[in-house]
Structure 1
Amino acid sequence: MIEVMGLSKRYGPVTAVDGLTFDVRPGVVTGFLGPNGAGKTTTMRMILGLDTPSGGHARVLGARYADLPEPMRAVGALLDAGAVHPRRTARDHLMCLALNNRISRGRVEEVLQLTGLAPVARRAAGRFSLGMSQRLGIAAALLGDPAVLVFDEPVNGLDPEGIVWIRTLMRDLAAEGRTVLVSSHLMAEMALTADHLIVIGRGRLIADVAVEAFMRSGEVRVRTPGAADFARALSASGAAVRPQGADGLLVSGMAAEDIGRMAAAASVTLYELTPLRASLEEAFMELTRDDVEYGVAR
């Protein structure tokens, strides 16, 4: 589990992270979302002890990262896939990490197989494509078989097969009871991968919510042969109603359950009563539109 409590980071007059508080729980994939400049990477760096907070604290498995006795066995992280000596082979890079952290040589071979790098294990990392470098970074994160995993934009450079692979891997790791925190700008991919979302903007928490709840648009589609009369009744009860075709209504400001009860009480025949979902991208854009650091003129 990751616990973030009142976490802040200031660089002179600039506040990059502003009093963040949230938990990342085991057994689910938690997506970490926000516009560019929102403070996601800075927050991850503070969780991993790479940056010192200006206020608050972060705990991993109940302790500061720096206080973990064997951090690589507790936490695996991918923040910068390029942080590898370019002349070192993939196997040698992982072997150095393993020897420095009392991890078996056999585990090196396991993660090379798991990440699809076994055929190129003797190739220098400097000759890797971006996608292969990402796989090597993921292999290093998995090396200690950790309970907590932190990935910053892990799908960068991956081809479609690689994206499906990392999505399946993250969900499998969470299903094993591990804590998985992953940031991404690919909303469609997050909709398929994450179970829970932490959304920040300008360093502040905007949402801490299940993906399904985040994607609800707040509108309900209603179809009834008496659409005009039912629309007037809904409006009189405080709902906002828009006509949709001959027998359809789009209703906001009233839950589907309340609309159904109202229809039953008035003996209104319903053909359809459907709470609508926005795409994750639409919901994200709507929620963060006032927190974009570099917007475009409209």
Structure 2
Amino acid sequence: MKIEGGELGNDGGRKDGAGGTLYVVATPIGNLDDLSPRATRTLARVDVVAAEDTRHSGRLLSHLGLHKRLIALHDHNEKDRASALIAELAAGRDVALISDAGTPLISDPGYVVVREARSAGYPVSPIPGPCALVAALSAAGLPTDRFLFAGFLPAKRAARRSALESLGSETATLVFYESPHRVLDCVQDVADILGPDREIVLGREITKTFETFYSGTVSVVQEAMETDPHGSRGEFVLMIRGAQAETGKESAGELDADRLIRALLPELPVKKVARIASELTGLSKNELYKRALALKEG
């Protein structure tokens, strides 16, 4: 199997030696047993590990019995460090990109490095694994056929409320990360902006010892958090059921289609009227043909 010009071995390493590979490695969000065997093998064989927090990641590597050259890569230095990591790839060295927890780039650093590595022609290979938003959604009991992940809401209240207002009519399940010192204020803003009866699920400390899911209407979740002495401790994933789809749109569309058909019928054959009305409204041509016939006869 060929991946961007480099043949992959069983351990995920390239065989042709033409430059290094950047591996995007997911690490545990809590439970260390969630680190996959493939991720462990990848971390063992790479030459360099680019980590969000070298002290935090150093403990993970020590737990695995690994001693690797670590390069700090975080929000404040990513643009400056990207060129150094590309130089490592150019020298034929493989690099693993990891974050403090979960999958890199998902509300974590790494976008600049991945983009520049791809632009320079070096393979970028994902080593999938834990991701807080996916883990939370899988256990939330909310619709997952469509969801919108928006990272962290703004820290300042006015901006946060404005962001919630802009998403108020979104029908997909909304997913956010939230910090412990803002989570209660954030839930209150959800109650104020989206209403106390909107269904939400709040996942806390997912995969960790005190993993908890609060679910129900916003007001029910607020009460549960306030009565739980640990309710505002840990890392949170906030999931909000999407708004109900607006009713009346189809009937309004039908009304517009009828108007359009009536305007076209005196000038064009029924078949052509149906085709034009379908292109302009997005409705079924066959249905519009039947409607045009009915309107003509009526």
* Larger radius of gyration between Structure 1 and Structure 2: 2
Greater share of helix? 2
Q: TM-score range, shorter-chain basis?
A: under 0.3
Query: Which structure exhibits the higher relative contact order, with contacts defined as CA atoms closer than 8 Å and separated by 6 or more residues?
Result: 1
TM-score by length of 2: 0.26
TM-score by length of 1: 0.26
